[in-house]
Structures are given as structure tokens and as C-alpha cells.
Amino acid sequence: MSEPAKADGRGIAAPRMLVMGVGSSGVRAVAAMRQLNPGLDAVVIDTDTKVLEATSMDRVIHVGATVTRGFSSGGDVELGRQSIEKDSSSIRNQLRLVDLLVIVTGLGGGTGSGAVPVITRIAREAGSLVLVMAGMPFAFEGRKVARVAEEALKRIRTHADAIIRISNERLVDRSDAELPAEQAYARSHQVMMDGICGIWRLLTKNGVCGLDFSCLHTMLRNCDGYCHFASAEGSGDTRATRVAEGLAKHRLLNKGKLLEASEGVVVSLTGGHDLKLSEIEAVMNRLQELLPEEIWLNFGVVVDPAFEGRISAIALVAEHWKEPLVDDANRQMGFSFNRRQGLQQGELPLETAGKGEFTYVDPTIHNNQDLDVPAYIRRDIKLPR
């Protein structure tokens, strides 16, 4: 069961972030993150008991026991969907008072592709901001797997605020032909780890300037469904230059071309107490050489003693900036963690109470929409007082 968000030093409830690994790829990635960052609030979900037992996670959810009998979904998307629907109450329990849900998964298989669209729907009903980091298959895995992944993305986009596609093809080029297979697949996990841990530090560590949950919320709600991600780290005398060039030429940003065409960017820098203003300027000046003049840009700096002697940076990049036409009251800026502080909303604070005795009944799906969900939630319609 999820715990309520803890208050910061001023007695204000801090935003709560939950990382959820779904499917074998997501489980392994999140388990590795948790080992490096024990304070990370995380849970893993799969149909395969062997995958779950192989992790050292203390919070695991085994779904689909009556559907797959403890085995994997075998690439069957429908089995993945049925498995999560049968145990949807367990997911709802995990999402109590969660402000930001980050789902980590690999698409193209059965569990991730079938379960994640359902989880994003449940999270949206719960009022959480939803970010999905999805690993995309290699080209050699075949057209069918690629098609399954793309169709899953379409269903996920129905309810997720933003999706970050981690392209294995972009992470590994021809010069890496002799790279061991295990390392090639591990690159995707490492990128996810860098991104999620960077966001986690942003929300939990003390920042010395201008970036917080509000900025992240604005970015995810206005990026038109998809955003790109890059990370870089440097140490030594030239660490700032290494970080700047690492972001500017990152493979997932098409070696800088996506920065040149972007409409919104969030940059978070992390360093120790030895981080200099000149180093911050060096990184930001290099990025602004590539960014359009009228771009929506927010950056922040986090000081963490563990980063003494090195600098780490993450960038979230929105290729398109589209302010949402409508919002529902639960999911506006200041939705759940401000609600715990007793702030007033401008619209009726209508919430979804769940399906009650109908929890285990299969939903009515039409055109990728769950018709059991009230229309004002499905269509993000504001209901004035």
C-alpha cells in the first residue's frame, strides 16, 4: 500500500513520484535503479514469477495468475491486457496519493504492450501525472514486433501525459557491431536509469535555482504527447564541456537536430558543492546556441554531495508545444499534492471512486476508449462551479 506524501521542512506536502516497472524489461530496469538509489519509491509488475523472483525488490505485484499461470504472456498482447485487468485493484492501491507516475517498460512483447495502456488509464482516473519511458525494439526483431510496439504507443497516448521513446536503434550504430548483445540491450536500461534518477533528484533534493515539480508538470502537459530525452555526465577539469557536448550531440536527440527544432526544453544540472557558476553558464550557453530564440526553456540546479567532482545533466525536449484545450479538475497544476494542503480549485473537484463491486469485470472498450470511465474524464472536460 502506498504511503502519503511526506512533508518537507516547511510542513508542505512534497510531490510524490512512483516508478513502476512493467514487463520483464521494465522489471529489470527498475530493479537496477532501486539498487543504486534505495530511496526511490518503486514497484515492479509482471506475469512471470521467475522474473519477479530474480529481483531484490520488496514491492512486487504478480498479475495474471489465473491467465498465464505464473508464466510470461508469450508475446500475446491480449493476455497482457487481461492479466492487468484481473488485478487492477492492486494497481489502484499503489496509486493512492501519487502525483507523478513514471512507467518503465519495453514495447513489442505481450505484458508491456498489453498492460501499460490499462495502467495509464487507471493512473489518469486516480489523478496522477503519467510519464511513460518505453524502450523500442531493434529493427532485426522483425516487423511484427515493431508493429505491436507502435500500436501499443497509440493506446498508451490515449491516457499518458507524455511518452519518451527510447530507440535501441539510435543508441547502437554500425560502429558498435561487435558490442556484446547484453551490453547493447543494457544501454536502453542505462538511459532510463539516468532519466528517472535525474527526475527523482529534481523532486527530492534541494535545488539552488528555478526548477521544480511545477515546471515538470507544465512540460509534460504541453509537449503534445511525446518528448525526447538525453543525459550526460562529466568529471575533471573539462567536465562542463563534456556535459554540454554530450547533450548537444546525444544520439537520442539526433545529434542536436531535435534541439534546433524544439519548442520546449527542461534542463536539470546536478553537481556537488564544488559546482561553479561558470560551469553552469558553459552548459547552458552551449545549449542555447542550438535552441530557437522563442523556445519555452526552464533549467534548474541541484546540489548533491554525492556528485562532488562531477556534473550530471538531463534534458527533456518537446519537439512540439501545444497547450491543452481542456483539463479536468484533478489534473491541473497543483492537483493532488496541493489538494492535501487544502488549496481551492477553480472547478468542481470530481474524482473517480473506482468500479467497486465491478472491479473485476472486463471494461467496455470502443475505439481504444473505456466507456466505463465517465465522459468528463475521458474528454478532459472542465466542470465549472
Of 318, 335, 365, the position where a domain reaches its end is 318
Indicate if 116 and 42 belong to the same structural domain: yes
State residue 367's pLDDT score.
Answer: 60
Express each pLDDT in 309-358 by its tens digit: 999 999 999 988 886 544 554 454 444 444 344 333 444 444 444 555 55
List strand residue ranges (DSSP E) for 207-303, in order. Answer: 207-209, 225-226, 228-235, 264-271, 296-303
What pLDDT is stored for residue 383 in this prediction?
Answer: 46
Q: What is the pLDDT of residue 179?
A: 67
Look at residue 213 in the predicted model and tell me its pLDDT: 80
Which segments of the chain have a pLDDT < 50? 1-5, 9-12, 325-326, 329-330, 332-353, 382-385
**Same domain, yes or no: 143 and 281:** no
Q: What is the pLDDT of residue 214?
A: 80
H/E stretch holding 62 reads strand 60-62
Structural domain harbouring 42: 17-204
Does 284 lie in the same domain as 141?
no
Q: What local confidence, expressed as pLDDT, does residue 385 receive? A: 37
**Domain count along the chain:** 2
Same structural domain, 190 and 259: no
72 in the same domain as 117: yes
Residues 155 and 254 in one domain: no
In this prediction, residue 182 carries a pLDDT of 72
pLDDT digits (tens, 9 = 90+) for 197-250: 888 887 777 777 767 788 888 888 888 888 898 999 999 999 999 999 999 999
What pLDDT sits at residue 338? Answer: 40
Q: Is 252 within the bounds of a domain?
A: yes
Residues 50 and 126 in one domain: yes
What's the confidence (pLDDT) of residue 281? 94
- Whether residue 160 is found in the same domain as residue 264: no
φ and ψ at 303, to 5 degrees?
-105, 120
Residue 286 included in any domain = yes
**191, 153 contact by CB (below 8 A):** no
What CATH number is given to the structural domain containing 50? 3.40.50.1440
Query: 177 with 277, same domain?
Result: no
The answer to whether 122 touches 30, Cβ cutoff 8 Å, is no
How long, in residues, is the chain? 385
Which pLDDT does position 72 carry in this prediction?
83
C-alpha 215/C-alpha 167 separation (Å) is: 26
